[in-house]
Amino acid sequence: MTKVLIFGGNSFVGREVVVKLLDLGHKVITFNRTGPRDNFSHENLNTVRGDILNPDDLRKLENLEFDVIVDNVSVNEKMIENIISALRHRVNLKYVFTSSSAIYHLVRDLKENDFTESDVDVFTKYEKNPMFQDREWDYIQGKADCERALIESDFQYKLIVRPNVIVGKNDPLKRTNYFFERVFDSKGVLLPDVGENTYHLVYASNLVNFYMDLILNYIKTSELVVNYSQDEVLTNKKFISYLDDNFKKKTEIYKINKELFIERGIALPPFGKWGKYELDLTLLKTIEDKSRIIPVSQWMKDLTEEFLLKKEPSYAKQFRSLESDIISKELRAE
């Protein structure tokens, strides 16, 4: 039986990791600010309420037993350093850190696409790219700072995963619903790149399966930095074509400058907004269990079923009437 401490664990990927571990008979401790949600409980689950920005809260972990740490919440150096400091005497632990492929934006002016794990030096402070807002850059640089802090730590096992944009059931941001609701209402979709920018996506359940292999030592390594996404290269046009197949529709796509989105105060589509963004998955392909990967075509169908069942609004539902006005009065379909 493995004992796992998860920072986060109340929603989306973290919750799915918790449930999977419990189903497999392992013990789980979650550490988060809210405590248990949705009356979720299990005899092998212990939830500790606390804030990783508060060192006193982290002291609640001193007398608890665990073999593996899964950190889904650290987004800046202060957060992860607090964890490292609180657990500094337990260097034999395995630390699995959820970073982000967003750190490749640090070198976006040096390389356009096909990012490899070695393209970013986390020990370098990069000059801010003006295409990003301050809060976006803080997140990008913050994830790199977290990686550096973990690499410099004394933990025996340091595993860093850089996932691309994660989608799936129970996504709190409802990113894929952006396209579901626009395809479903048959009013057309505005795309700043006419849907041609390429990218990878991560289906949450696939990432969770990969984490299981890291946590339970099926992937045997003491240090790892790895890109994570599904292999299929998508564009917004291709994404919409999957939905057209599922809904038996033919969606009109309208070209629009990105600046017009910003000028009208309309939220951008969730994918492809920074240009092409593909990851080099060479390393991942040598260690991931391919037999358990859920293909894009299947999880698209699963998400379609969820959307039709719940009809939950996306983060950009409120802008739909503005988009419809632009489509009906100003644009022609591509």
Question: What structural domains does the chain harbor?
Answer: 3-166+202-231+278-291 (3.40.50.720), 167-201+232-277+292-327 (3.90.25.10)
Mean pLDDT of the chain: 94
Beta bridge partners of 187: none
Digit-coded pLDDT (tens) for 245-255: 999 999 999 98
Digit-coded pLDDT (tens) for 85-129: 999 999 999 999 999 999 999 998 888 899 999 999 999 989 998
pLDDT, residue 273, reads: 83
pLDDT, residue 259, reads: 87
pLDDT, residue 223, reads: 96
Dist. CA 263–CA 273, nearest whole Å: 15
DSSP 115: B
pLDDT, residue 267, reads: 92
pLDDT, residue 334, reads: 54
Which regions in the chain score pLDDT beneath 70? 332-334
pTM, entire model:
0.94
SS3 of the chain: CCEEEEECCCCHHHHHHHHHHHHCCCEEEEEECCCCCCCCCCCCEEEEECCCCCHHHHHHHCCCCCCEEEECCCCCHHHHHHHHHHCCCCCCCEEEEECCHHHHHHHCCCCCCCECHHHCCCCCCCCCCCCCCHHHHHHHHHHHHHHHHHHHCCCCEEEEEEECCEECCCCCCCCCHHHHHHHHCCCCEEECCCCCCCECCEEHHHHHHHHHHHHCCCCCCCEEEEEECCCCCECHHHHHHHHHHHHCCCCCEEECCHHHHHHHCCCCCCCCCCCCECECCHHHHHHCCHHHCCCHHHHHHHHHHHHHHHCCCCCCHHHHHHHHHHHHHHCCEC
